[in-house]
Each structure stands twice: as C-alpha cells, then as structure tokens.
Structure 1
C-alpha cells in the first residue's frame, strides 16, 4: 500500500511524500518502526524508490520524498533551489512525519542533501546511505555540458516507447545501451497536448545544479557522525578512488560497489543493491 502525505517545506513550499505503509514485521504493534527517508537525485522522483521502499517497509517505516521542483511537489518558478532549501525541506519532512532518528538513503543529489543534513543535524539521523554522489567539485565545464545535453533532447516524445529508446539506447551520453535508464526517464515524463515532456523544468534543474557543482563537499562529509555506507556503481559517476577516500573521510564510513551498474545503481541492479544495504542497515540499528 502506498499513500501520499503532504509536507510543508522551507518557505512554505508544498512537498509530496509517499509512504510505503506495509505493516513492519518483527516487533510489537506499539513499537515505532525505524524511519527511513529516501531522497531521489536531480530529475528524479519518489516513485523511483518504489522497489527499495517495498522491501524496506517489511521492517521500517519507508517514506520517499518528491523534492522541490520534482515529481508532484511544488515547482516555484524562481526557487529557491539552493542547498539550504533542499536540506531544510528534508529536515521539515523528518519532523512532520515523525521519522527521527531517521535512516537517510540518497541517490546522487539526494545523497548530498542527506549527508549535509546528517552533518548539520546529527541528532536527527541514525544512519546514512550515499549512492553514487561525488564529494569533489565538478566545475563550470560540467554545468556547460549539462546545458548542451538538455538541448539534445528530442522533445516532445511521441510515445513512452520513444522515451525509453532515446534515453536507453540513442542518448549521445550513453556508452552502451541501458534499458533501465530508459525506464527511469519514462517515469519522469507526462503526456501533454503535443506529446510526452518531463514533469520538471530543465531550467530549474540547472538552477539547482548550479548551487553545488562548483564546490567540494568534503568538510561536511567529515562532520557526519552516524554510520555511513558509500555505494557506487562500477560504471557510475563516482570513481573507486574517490569513493574510498569518502569512506576514509567519514568517521564511520563503509564501502560497497555494485558490478554492472551505472549511475542508477538501484535501477540497474536491484538485487545486489539490496544485498549491499540490508546488512549495513541491520548493523546500524543495533549500534544506534
């Protein structure tokens, strides 16, 4: 069962949270199940976490958040789409949903939000999972490349099959076909009068990205006090050397890598992804 819960974020922005509410097993009915907040990456949405949230919901209270500018959440024309706004939104969701002490699981930009919140509010966070997000600055060239990439999108798409094919096979950014990537992007398209278009504004995505690509984030990583698992796809954006340095910098860091997975680790390899997370989460609950 999935239910939507509206949350008020920073500056009064309306956010949509989605609770995967199967009754947790293994405890008394009056026990509070450990809370998990799942944070998608740039251009993502809460539904991208459905597979992960379903197995989590057997023992946890699993909630996925549509972050501002994404999914069913509000998309204010001029933001703000700052790091501070995203972190404040996540903090508001934890408080309003009574999830603390929470396990934060973040992918890409959502992982950055997660570790920034864990650094600033250690009292709220029990454990942290960082999925394929770099701590190093990406720089202005990376932002320019994204601007050019957005221009290559052949919008509008005539059908969802065209969406799946372009993002899974034809996108010039692809080194090899990844059908899971096509499925990922099909979930963030909506049918309009002229065809299928993204549910987000590409301009707003660039605004959001502008606030973090120019800076390194090692100092905040070092402030994370809770157990933290860094997960990378072998073919993803986070290289092995940087991932292992992140683990070294984290006071209680651990490392996992998933073979034959790209940036969308939980989409590409859901079973190995689960196998990497479950023992970490179980140990974190025992030690927190």
Structure 2
C-alpha cells in the first residue's frame, strides 16, 4: 500500500511523496526503522521506485519523492526554480520533514546526482547512498541539443497508452532493440487529456532542469561524500565501466555493482538483479552506525 504525504520543498514548492507500507498501528515502530528515500531520474516519477520500495518496506521505512516539475509535485514556471540547489533542498526537506534521517538515499540518473550532492552538502542527513547509472563527467552542449531534439520528436498526443508503450519500446529512434520495460516506464509518466495522452511534465522545464548540471563535471561533489556509497550500472547503461570505477575511486567509501543484461532502467526492467546487487549494501549500512553525522 502506498500512502501519499506532501512535503514543502525549497521556495514553498509542494512536493508529493509516497510511503510504501501498510499504515502502522505503532507510529514509533515505523519511525525506528531505517529510512530510505528514493529519487527518480529526469522525466521520471516516484512510482518508478514502487517495486523496490515495497520490497524493502518490511525492514525499512521507504519513501519515494516526485521531484519538482514531475508527477504530482508542483511545476513552478520560473527557470530559477529548477536549479540544482532547489533539488537538493527538496531532498533535504523530505528527509527532515518525514523523519527519515539519517537516511539511505537511492537515486537514478538525475536523482542520483541529487543524492550525492545531498550527501556532500548535508552529511548529517545521509547514512549511505546508492547511485544508479549517473555520470560524474560533463555531458556538454551536444548532449543537451540531443535531448531537446528527442523531447521534440515525441508524437504527442498519443491516442492510447498502448501507443505510448509501442513508441518508447519499439519506434523511438533511441531504441536499439524492442524493450517493453522502457515502454512501460514511459507509460507511467503520461496523463490523459481531451486530445489523448501527454507527459505529466513540461518538456521545457525538463530541459531547464537538465541544463543546470549537464555542462559541469561533478567529481568534486563525489569526493566530498563521506558516507558509504554504491555506484550501480547496467552493462548496457549510459555510465561506462571505466567511468563508474573512477567514480568509486573518487569516493572515500565507494563500492561498485554491475547488473548484466540491463541498461539505463535497470531498477525498473530487472528488479530481481537490481535487488541482488543493492540489498546487501543497504543491509550492511543500516546495520551499522550512521556515517556522516
């Protein structure tokens, strides 16, 4: 069962979060469980972490956040509202307002960057982190142009969700081979309107958010993370093995996990393999003293 809880983020932006557990009879027993905050990637939403959060909910207090501009959270129109600092402050607000800290923070893509920047800026809030398929190197202007072209190529509105699944899973020029999980992933970020299905976000806001980090390298942020950190990549993901291993070396307490036969959406498309790689790390950190306070 998922219970919605709203959080007030940076600048008063309302953020939607979901706690994946049955409502407890004893609130104190829930508060005593180690907290896990899940952060989705750019264009994603909290529900992409639902399977992972439910699986861990028996032993952890698991919460997934719709980041600003995404899902059911507010979508402020100002460009400045989509800064890196705002995303990090939002994550800190979720940990503090929901009593999760010091939390295990698990992020995918942009959410992983937010996770390690939170750990660097507010070490007392983060016990450990898991970074899934996010690069530390600068991606540059060409990457931003490619993203703008890709977002502009979406044939919206889609007539049906089946059309969404087919396009993202088969027809999207970025798809090298049919991938039903990718189609399902993007079907979750659509909402129905009078003329069909469109994304539950503003593409221009996604580009604004991305341009706040795509031109910069983030090695210094990694080096400032003092808590244990796991770098996770799918064998066919966007993060290459050499860069991932260099990220591990940059971290004072870095570890590495690789998921075979998986790409950028490893946690969503291959949940069993993802859990096999990540759960031992979480259990080890949760069993020890907080590292960063």
* TM-score relative to the length of structure 2: 0.95
**Partner residue of 2:2?**
2
Distance 1:191 1:246, change over 3 A: same
State how far apart, in whole Å, the 2-side matches of 1:188 and 1:23 are: 26
Q: Per-residue displacement from partner, 1:259-287 (whole Å, max 9, x unpaired)?
A: 11110111121001000111101111223
SS of match in other structure, 1:117:
helix
Question: 1:23 deviation in Å?
Answer: 7.2
Note if contact 1:101-1:123 (Cα within 8 Å) is conserved in structure 2: yes
Note if contact 1:81-1:207 (Cα within 8 Å) is conserved in structure 2: yes
Q: Does 1:278 align with 2:279?
A: yes
Note if contact 1:22-1:58 (Cα within 8 Å) is conserved in structure 2: no
4+ residue segments displaced more than 2 Å: 28-31
State how far apart, in whole Å, the 2-side matches of 1:196 and 1:39 are: 24
Write out aligned runs for 1:233-272 (5 A).
233-272=234-273
* Runs of 5+ unmatched residues, structure 1: none
**Partner residue of 1:52?**
52
* TM-score relative to the length of structure 1: 0.97
**Partner residue of 1:225?**
226
SS of match in other structure, 1:254:
strand
Question: 1:29 deviation in Å?
Answer: 3.9
SS of match in other structure, 2:76:
coil
Aligned residues: CA RMSD: 1.3
Distance 1:23 1:171, change over 3 A: same
**Partner residue of 1:77?**
77
**Partner residue of 1:125?**
126
Note if contact 2:31-2:61 (Cα within 8 Å) is conserved in structure 1: no
Question: 1:174 deviation in Å?
Answer: 1.1
Distance 1:94 1:169, change over 3 A: same
State how far apart, in whole Å, the 1-side matches of 2:30 and 2:147 are: 49
**Partner residue of 2:89?**
88
Q: Does 1:190 align with 2:191?
A: yes
Q: Per-residue displacement from partner, 1:14-56 (whole Å, max 9, x unpaired)?
A: 00010012379xxx94770000000000000001100000011
Note if contact 1:23-1:58 (Cα within 8 Å) is conserved in structure 2: no
**Partner residue of 1:215?**
216
SS of match in other structure, 2:159:
coil
SS of match in other structure, 1:287:
coil
Identify which range, 249-258 or 72-81, moves more after superposition: 72-81
State how far apart, in whole Å, the 2-side matches of 1:30 and 1:92 are: 19
State how far apart, in whole Å, the 2-side matches of 1:286 and 1:48 are: 26
Question: 1:151 deviation in Å?
Answer: 1.6
**Partner residue of 1:107?**
108
State how far apart, in whole Å, the 1-side matches of 2:212 and 2:280 are: 34
Q: Give the total of aligned pairs.
A: 285
Write out aligned runs for 1:171-182 (5 A).
171-182=172-183
**Partner residue of 2:16?**
16
State how far apart, in whole Å, the 1-side matches of 2:177 and 2:35 are: 37
State how far apart, in whole Å, the 2-side matches of 1:260 and 1:31 are: 37
State how far apart, in whole Å, the 2-side matches of 1:208 and 1:30 are: 34
State how far apart, in whole Å, the 1-side matches of 2:151 and 2:287 are: 45
**Partner residue of 1:156?**
157
